[in-house]
Structure formats: C-alpha cells, structure tokens
Structure 1
Amino acid sequence: MLLWKKLHWSCTIGNRRTNDPQGVRRRIVDTAYDTFVRQGYIATGMLEIREKASVSGGAMAHHFPAKCQLGLAVIRDRVTQAVRQTWIEPLDVSLDAPAAIDLIFGNIISELTYKGSVSGCPLNNMAMEISHHDPEMRAALSEIFAAWHDALSAKFQADVAAGRTVGMNPNSLATLVIALYSGAMAIAKTRQDVGALIDCRTELAALLASKYRMQ
C-alpha cells in the first residue's frame, strides 16, 4: 500500500501537459497511511506528510485543508482496505472459520517476521489514538470494526448452519477473536516480537477445535 510535485501534479510529454490530481491525492493518502501506522496520527504533522509525498502546499491544501480530513481519507481508503484484505477476504474464501483464522494469523506472523519489525494493526493504532478526539473519525473506525465483526460472525454462523459446530454463539465468538488479535498485536508492537501472536494463534486453534465437530 505504499506509493511514493504541486496542485494538479503535472508532467510534460513533448509539448503536451498532463494533470493527475487523483494521483496526487493517492500519494498524499498513501504517505499519510504509512506515516500514521509507523509513528502515530497525533505525532505526524501535515508538513511532514507533504514533504514525504513531494507535493506543494497548494496541492495539500486543495485536497486536504485540515488534518482531520486526511485522517478520514486514510481510514476510509486505506485502513478499510487493509482490514478487508487481511481478514474479510480470507474469511470469504476459506472452508470454515478455524481454517481462515489460522491462515490469517499465519500470514501476519510470516509477514512481520520477514519485515523484522511490528508497527501494529492500523485499525487498532488509530482507534486507540483518536477515538476520544474526533467523533467523525471515531464513527468511521467503528464502521470498520463492525464490518470485521460481521464477517467473522457470518462465517461462524455459516459453520453452524453447515453442521460443523454446535453450542456456540457466533457474535460473541467473533468479538473474542477480534479482542484476542488486537491485544496480541499490541503486545507484539510493544515487544517488537511476534511471540504473542504465535501464542494467540495456538490457543485460538485449540479453542475452536473444541467447538467444531471432527471432519
């Protein structure tokens, strides 16, 4: 999701000048997303984002007159996409919830191990920082949590309907999975170590195995 100079950024092809305002906007949002995830929303200034994105003050003001507007764009355009790609899409294509959850944890652990650093969950990072500061951003973050929860709950409910599991509450179990993942990711970020995610993956697999019928 990382893409790396003025209002209506332009280039010259021969004598023809082409404008790409949407490309400028994407570059600003992508740069802001990366910076917010790594160092936090509050600690990041608009000037820093503008310089990293290589855009002029006029371009920045045109697309995002205020930092909160940029924060909303990051949440709606990038954080939503990150949750969808990381969680919701694997849930859609996996046979059952346990297989999907184990795959998701495995992918995340492998990616973080390869990177050698843990920036944390983009959704959790922004929720912890700004939920008390901006009602509109809080509402946008809440919508992402709701979509994530709905996808997990729907997968558990589909497993119940298919007779794979009995005696469980899809809604509460979805809440548990999100809470466990969020907490494990916070620990992993603090320690800069994926051990908490590995432990969470193992315990979740055992818990879900106890609730599912043997295939």
Structure 2
Amino acid sequence: MTALGYIWEASLQPGDTRVCGEGTRDGALLGIQLWAQDPKGPSICWLTGFGRAGKSTIARSIAEKMSEDETLGASFFCSRYSKDQSNLLSIIPTLAFQLARKYHLFRSALEIRKEYASFEDQVNYLFVQPLKKSAISTVIVIDALDECRGGERLLSFLGQIVSEAPGVKFFITSRPGSRIQREMDVLGGSRVHGFDLRRELDTC
C-alpha cells in the first residue's frame, strides 16, 4: 500500500481545530448530514461559496462528524499553497489508501501498479473498479477542488462511479463560477444536491 503515494496532510487529521464552533453553521451542517443519511438522495453534495466563506471549515466539521460515526471513507483537502495538495495525481492515491485501510473488500480489489499510462487509468484501477467490486457504502469528502490544478477532470468520472457504486456518496466543495461548476452541470440535478453558502447568514 505504500506504493500508492499517500499524502498524509491532505486527509482529515485527528484533533484538527479548524472546525465550526458550537452553534455556528447549524443549518448547513444539518442539511449536509441529512443528505448523507438519505440512501435515496443524490450521490453528490456540492457546497459552494466565495473565498473565506467557511467551506473548508464546514468540510472539516462534516468529515470529523462522519469519522466519529464511521461513515467517512476518505477525505482530501486541496490547497493551492501546497504542491502535493494542488496536484490532481495526488487525489486518487490518497483516497484509495484511506479506503483500503478502512475496508478489506476495497483493499482486496485494488490493482496497484508501478505506474499508470494516464490519469484515466489511475482512476479506473485505484478507484472505479475497487469501488464497484467491493460494493461498500461510504462518504468521500473532497474540499476546495477548484484549488487543484485540473480538478474538474476528476468530476468527469463521478457519473460512472456513482452509477457503478451506488453506495458511495461524495461531498465536494469549491468556489462558484469555476470549471467545477460546468462539470457539475453536466452531471445533472438528479445526481447533485447543491448547497450555496451565499444564502447562509450565520458564520463560522
């Protein structure tokens, strides 16, 4: 599993204090939790908001809550200030490492190679096929995807993933009006539950 190239600092860290304070963002947090608990709802929850609107704070709060109740499968917190956390090729190996560590069935289905011919191959062998074969139910958190170079390319695979692995849900945050938004529009409203922080009045 060490060959996966896991980026430790990109995942949820125990004791991270960058979470919502008590009594703040209650509406957003409740809405996201209800989405995650609804097996018949959209497979993707997309949280948008401008810079410093509290998206990452909410994402960490949600990831921490889901980690506590064992529904979090993996997380990746993108950052434009980090070479690794803004690298598209780091996301899938880091998520796959966490999923393999948590789920034996996923680990058994992994096909790890020394190198992959393309990003598409990486997604297929480390993510799509293991999720499909293992049939796990879990939530994956990806924060600030717009801060990852080429991050919208990952979204082009989400339609396939949620169709072939219906037990998997994705919570994704980004700024509005980006290339991410165009890909979300392609995925369609039946698969995406949108949540706009610009409509929230309380603050983290």
**TM score, norm. by length of structure 2:** 0.30
Structure number with greater Rg is 1
More contact order relative to length (CA 8 Å, sep ≥ 6):
2
Decide which structure has greater strand share.
2
What is the TM-score of this pair, normalised by structure 1? 0.29
Structure with bigger helix share is: 1
